[in-house]
Amino acid sequence: MSADVLIGNLLNPVILFFFLGLLAVWIRSDLAIPTALSRFLSYYLLFCIGLKGGAELAHSGLSMDIFKVLALALGMALLVPLYAFFILRRRLNLYDSAAIAATYGSISAVTFITAINFLEENQEPFGGYMVAAMALMEAPAIIVGLLLFNLYDRNETGGSARSPSVRQIVREAVTNGSVVLILGSFLIGIVSTDKSVHALLPFTDGIFKGMLAFFLLDMGLLAGKRLASLRGSGGFILRFSVLIPLFNAALIIGLAWLLELSKGDALLLTVLCASASYIAVPAAMRISIPKANAGLYVPMSLAITFPFNIILGIPLYYFLLNQILN
């Protein structure tokens, strides 16, 4: 990995605010971000990325290359929870295996947004349609994870009288607030005029990096608190939280080479496949698989996989893509 790229990423103020959050927890500071403000920041980031992505797609138009990337994104969202589930079942119970598989099959929107910031810092172009890829990948993994749980629950224990139907599962996934906002903003960006989108630039672009830095401060605080939940969970959990994202990333980097994707698009797709959800999936799992241990799947994604990706993963993936796509 290029030392300059790694050091540049580590010294980026956006990333440093994440470390500040970790430090605040470590020294037991009373620094805290109100829950309502944290939710607003999350929605703000999704709104901006969706709107800008839709506007970019309106300019570039649809092509076979775009459909190729979207199909690959959807395929990975369906495939990752399948093999993750069977790996997890070797060590964990059915409830935790299904919840963690869905977590790692889905995506982290904030990791994706951090990767976009990384590309902009390195002046690397990417397609606005990658926002559509992100939106496509969030729900399928939830559905696959819950379908696997219901299938094995019936086979092993006779199932539950209140197991959610496929229709309920799909509805929960599709109507999730983050999915609705990112898709809605994306569609609004497509149909809006250049003049109207430009008028929003002070809000969507001018303060974006500051908002992202503040949000990552909140993520650092949350990650620091969640790390304590993983004490005593064993080396398997730690290894899975790092090795599965790396495996997913290696798979996508290889496919990016075969399909001749651009470096920017390939990095964003790699980051999506290497990330794990800590917002949409936990919300769905709390409703559909309440017996799954949230003290495992939430800190795995938020306190291990998320910081690994934003600190080391993104510059590592970018370095590898630079080697094979030049």
3-state secondary structure 151-217: HHHHHHHCCCCCCCCHHHHHHHHHCCHHHHHHHHHHHHHHHCCHHHHHHCHHHHHHCHHHHHHHHHH
Per 3-state DSSP, what percentage of the chain is helix, strand, and coil (rounded to 5)?
80, 0, 20
pLDDT at 4: 66
pLDDT at 161: 46
pLDDT at 132: 80
Judge whether residue 299 has pLDDT over 70: yes
Roughly how many angstroms between the first and final C-alpha of the chain, as a whole number?
15
* Per-residue pLDDT tens digits for 154-176: 666 555 545 566 666 667 666 76
Of residues 103 and 181, the one with the higher pLDDT is: 103
pLDDT at 221: 87
* Per-residue pLDDT tens digits for 244-260: 999 999 999 999 999 88
Classify domain 3-324 at the CATH class level.
Answer: mainly alpha
H helices present in 92-174, as ranges? 94-105, 109-121, 130-157, 166-174
Judge whether residue 228 has pLDDT over 80: no
How do the domains of the chain map onto residue ranges? 3-324
pLDDT at 2: 59
Contact between 55 and 197 (Cβ < 8 Å): yes
Q: How many CA atoms lie within 13 A of 100 on its CB side?
A: 28
Helix (H, G, I), strand (E, B) or coil at 264: helix
Of residues 285 and 263, the one with the higher pLDDT is: 263
pLDDT at 22: 87
Residues near 35 by beta carbon (within 8 Å), at least 6 away in sequence:
none
d(CA 215, CA 18): 8
Of residues 78 and 223, the one with the higher pLDDT is: 78
pLDDT at 82: 95
